[in-house]
Chain A
Amino acid sequence: MKKRWACSLLSAALLLTLTACGQGNPQTNGGGTGTSTSTAAHHSSYPEKPLVVVAPSGAGGGWDKTARSLAKVLVENKQIDQPVTVENKPGGGGVVFLSEYVTKDKGNDYRLFVNSPPLLINHRKKEGNSPFGYEDVTPLAQLTKDFGAIVVPADSPYENLKQLLEELKADPAKLTMAGGSAPGSMDHLIAVLPAAKYGIDPKAVKYVSYDGGGEAMAALLGGNADAIATDASSLGEYLKAGRIRVLGVSSDQRLGGHLADIPTFKEQGIDASFTIWRGVFGPPEMSAEAVAFWDKTLEQLAASDSWQAELQRNAWESEYRNATEFKTFLAEQDRQINELLQSLGMAK
C-alpha cells in the first residue's frame, strides 16, 4: 500500500511538472524578435515568421470572428506571405489574456490581438479589474464599429426615449432594464448612459443582466424586461418581424439600412453617444518598423473589396482609424467611460 501511495504521489507531481512546462511555451516563440529584426533599415523584411492574432475569448464571439476575418482577408489579399493563425485565449472577459500578454510578450512583433471597449472598461472598473489598459499595449488600427441601442417590445407604451426616461425619472423602481452582460460592462453602460445624461441617478436604474444578448432579447420578448440595451447590428430581424421598437441608437448620425428611421439619442435631446469599436493591437514596446508595417497594411486592408465583403457578411460597419487617430480616439473613449463608471460608483 505504501508503495502505491508513493507511486500516485509521484504521478501527480509529474503531472504538475508537465503543467509547469506548458507555461514556458509561449515565451519561446516570442523572445528576442523585437531586438534582432529591428536592425534592418527602412526597407524592412518584417514579417519573416508566422503571425498569430489572438482573440481573448472562446471561439464564436465578436472578437473571435473579427480575428478570423482579419487573418483570412490578410492572406486572401496576399498582403502577407507568412501564415496568419488565430489563437483563442478565453478567461475573465479578456483580462486573463491581457495580463499574460503584457508581461510575457513585450516586444514580440508576431503576436497581435483584437479587442473592443471592454479593454478600457475592464481597466477602469473596480470589480474584476484588469491591471492593464490600452496604454500598456500598442494600438494599431480601428477596423469596425457598432452602436448601442435601447429597445422595447412592439406593444410597449413607450414611443420614444423621452417617454421612457420620464417614466424612469418618476419612479425608477417601476421599470426593469436588461442587457446581456454584468453590471459595469458594456451593455450596462449603454443602458444607463441616456438615463445618466437625463439627470437620473444611474444607480437607481434597475438593471438585470442575462448571459448574452440573445437571452436578454428573450427576456424582452417574453415580457420579463421593459427595455433592453444591446448592439444595434443585432436588431434587424426582430425589427422587420415587428416584434420590437427601437427607441434610439447611440451613434452621432443616423444609421443606414433598416435602422434609418431610428433617431439617435442626440436627436432626442439626450447628449450621449457610445461607439462599440473593434480594433487591432500589438504588444508593448512593439518595434517601430512593425508598427509602420501594420499601419500601412491595415490601411490597405480596410480599403480592399474583400474586406468590405467580409464586413457585409458579418453585418459590421466599416470604420478605419490609423494608429495615431486610434490612440487619440481611445484616450477620449477612456475618459468618457471613466466618467460614466464614476457616476455609477463602479470606477476603480
Chain B
Amino acid sequence: MSVISFLLDGFATALAWHNLLFAFVGVLIGTSVGVLPGIGPMSGVALLIPVSASLTAGLPPEEAAASAIILLAGVYYGAMYGGSTTSILLNTPGESSSVVTTLDGYQMAKQGRAGTALSIAAIGSFVAGIVSLIGLVFLAQPLSELALTFGPAEYFSLMVLGLCAVSGLGGRSMTKALLMTVFGMLLATIGIDNVSGVARFTYEIPVLYQGLEFLTVAVGLFALGEVFKTIHETGRQSGAIAKVGRVIPTRRDLRQSAGPIARGSLLGFFIGLLPGAGATLSSFFSYVLEKKLSKHPERFGKGEIAGVAAPESANNAASGGAMIPLLTLGIPGSGMTAILMGALLMYNVQPGPLLFSDHPKIAWGLIASMFVGNLMLLVLNMPLVKLFAKIIETPSQYLLPIIIAISVFGVYAVQINTFDLVLLVVCGVAGYFLSKHDYPLAPLVLGLVLGPMIENNMRRALTTANGDFTIFLSEPLSLLFLLLAFLWIALPLLVRKRGRQVVVSEEY
C-alpha cells in the first residue's frame, strides 16, 4: 500500500538524528510552555517561529522546512500535554481546552490523587494522539471533504446540542446550571458583532471591541476564585497539606479510564476536524458524554478519574484532527493551526490540496514525527509527574501568592492589556461568590465559548436561507442534532414524570 510506504519514508525523515533532536526540543519547550498559563500553545509556537528559522538555517530548504515544522509541531503537542498540569494541581487552566479538566482534576489533587490524575492525563493524551494520527494517515482525504459540508446550520444545531448537554455540567441544580449558561452567553455578546459589524455593549471603549477574553474570565473564575476561597477557609482546616500519593495509576484506575479515553479520543478527533470548533468544545462534550454514560454521574465534579481522562484525551485528539483540514485543504481550523500554517508558508510550503504531492517529505515527515513526539512526551511526562505533583505539597501561604502571580502573568502575557487584569480580579471575586452559593462555573465558561458560535452560525444560516428557519430542519445532519438535543432534555423529564427511579442530574 502506497500510504504505508509514504509513511515509512516519513519515518526515515523523522528518525534522522537532527530531527529527533528537534522533536525532543520541541516537546520539551512545549511542555514547559503548556505548564505556564498564558503562554499557551499559540503564543509559544508564534514566538518560536523565528528561533526555529535560525536553528535550521544551515540545512537545504526542503529539509530545513521539515525540521522546523517538526520542532513547532512538537511544541504544539507538548503544550497540549502540559496544559492539564496547572488545571489539575492549581485549578488554573493554562488554556481554554483544559478548563473542564479542573472540575475533577483539582478535586482529585485535593484528595491526594494528583499523581494519578496527572499520569492518566498523560496516558489519555498519548492514546488520543495515536488515534488521531491513525485517522490522519488513513482517512485524511475523505474526512476533510466531509468536514467541509458541515455548514452553518449544522454548526448551529451541534451547538444547541452542546448547550442542552450543559445541564449535565451543573452541580446539584439544573436551574442554576442553565442560569449560568445564559449568563455566559450574555457576557459573550460584548464586543463587535462579527455578523453585522455592530458594536454591542462597548460604550465606545476600545478595549471592549474584542469582547471579553475567554482565558481571562476562566482563570479569574477558577484560579483566583479558588484562591479567595482558600484564604477564607484555611481557618477551619489549617495546615492540611494534600499528599501527592502514588503516581502510577492502579489497575482499577486504568480500567475505569479505558472507556473514557477511547470515546474521548474518537469524539475529540471528529470535533477537531470541524474548522472553528476545536479542542475546547471537544473537551466539554466528552466530559458531558462520560457523565451521561457513567453509572455514577453524581461522582463527577468530586474527583472522578473519567472526568480527567475523557477531556484530556479529547483535546489532544482534537488537536490532531485539526491538522487534517490544515494539511489537506490549507484551511486552519484553529488559531493554533493558523500559526503552523504561517510557519509552513515561511518556508515556501503552501499547505493545501497539493501538499502531499508537492512536498511529500515534509508532509509525511511531519506525520511520522508526531508519532515520535507523542511517544517522547509520554516518556518525558511520566517521570515529571512526580516532580510537578510536589507543587501542591507547598504550604498554602507560599502556594497562593504563586497562583496569583501565575494567573496575572499568564493573562497579561496573552492580552498585554491592563484592562484584562482588572477583569481577572473581578472574575476572581465573582467566582468566589458564585461557587460559594453552589452556582457551577463551567456552564458560564461554556456559554461564553458557545455563545458567539451559536449566534454567528445561526445568523449565517439564516442569511443564506433568506430568513427561513426551516433550514435547520431540512438539513439532515442538523435535524439529527436537534432531535438529539430535544431527547437529551425531554427524556429525563418524561421518565421522571412516570415516576420511575432513575439517576439524573436534576433538582431534588
Contacts and interface: CB of A to CB of B under 8 A. Distances in A.
Interface of A: 1, 4-5, 7-8, 11-12, 15-16, 18-20, 22-23, 58-60, 64-65, 68, 72, 87-93, 95-96, 99, 125, 127-130, 173, 176, 182-185, 188, 206-212, 214-215, 217-219, 221-225, 236-238, 240-241, 243, 312-315, 346
B42 A184 contact: no
Contacts of A173: 466
A125 B422 contact: no
Contact of A346 (B150, B197, B232): B197
B42 A215 contact: no
Contacts of B232: 1, 4-5, 8
Contact of A241 (B43, B149, B195, B354): B354
Which 4 residue pairs of A and B lie closest in terms of their CB atoms, listed nearest first?
Answer: A92-B209, A59-B46, A222-B148, A237-B352
Interface in B328-353: 329-333, 335, 338-339, 341-342, 345-348, 350-353
Nearest to B348: A313
B354 A127 contact: no
A96 B206 contact: yes
A237 B350 contact: yes
B338 A212 contact: yes
Contacts of B209: 91-93, 95-96, 128
Contacts of A68: 50
B122 interface: no
B140 to A, nearest CB: 15
B351 to A, nearest CB: 8
Interface stretch (B126-134, B156-164, B373-381, B412-420): B412-420
Interface string B455-484: 010001001101000000000000000000
Contacts of B353: 237-238, 241, 243
Interface string B207-233: 111100000000000000000100110
Contacts of B331: 214-215, 217-218, 221
A227 B275 CA distance: 19
Contacts of A8: 228, 231-232
Given A8-B232, A92-B210, A209 B192 contact: no
A182 B206 contact: no
Contacts of B501: none
A23 to B, nearest CB: 5
B135 interface: no
B15 interface: no
Contacts of B338: 60, 212, 214
Most A CB contacts (10 A, CB to CB) among B148, B197, B335, B412 go to B197
Given A4-B235, A96-B417, A214-B275, A222 B151 contact: yes
7 contacts: A12-B429, A19-B418, A210-B460, A211-B276, A237-B330, A237-B354, A238-B352
B152 A224 contact: yes
Contacts of B151: 219, 222-224
Which secondary structure dominates where chain B touches chain A? helix
B210 A314 contact: no
Nearest to A225: B464
A235 to B, nearest CB: 10
A151 to B, nearest CB: 14
A185 B199 CA distance: 13
B143 interface: no
A57 to B, nearest CB: 10
B408 A182 contact: no
Contacts of B204: 129
Given A92-B192, A127-B197, A236 B42 contact: no
A202 B355 CA distance: 38
A208 B42 CA distance: 27
A72 B208 CA distance: 32
Contact of A90 (B50, B352, B354, B416): B416
A176 B425 CA distance: 43
Contact of B206 (A22, A95, A215, A243): A95
Nearest to A219: B151
B356 to A, nearest CB: 11
B345 A176 contact: no
Contacts of A59: 42-43, 46-47, 339
Contacts of A18: 408, 421
A99 B206 contact: yes
Contacts of A214: 275, 330-333, 338, 341
B56 interface: no
Interface string B418-459: 100110010011000000000000000000000000001000
A173 B502 CA distance: 50
B149 A15 contact: no
Contacts of B428: 12
B189 interface: no
B416 A182 contact: no
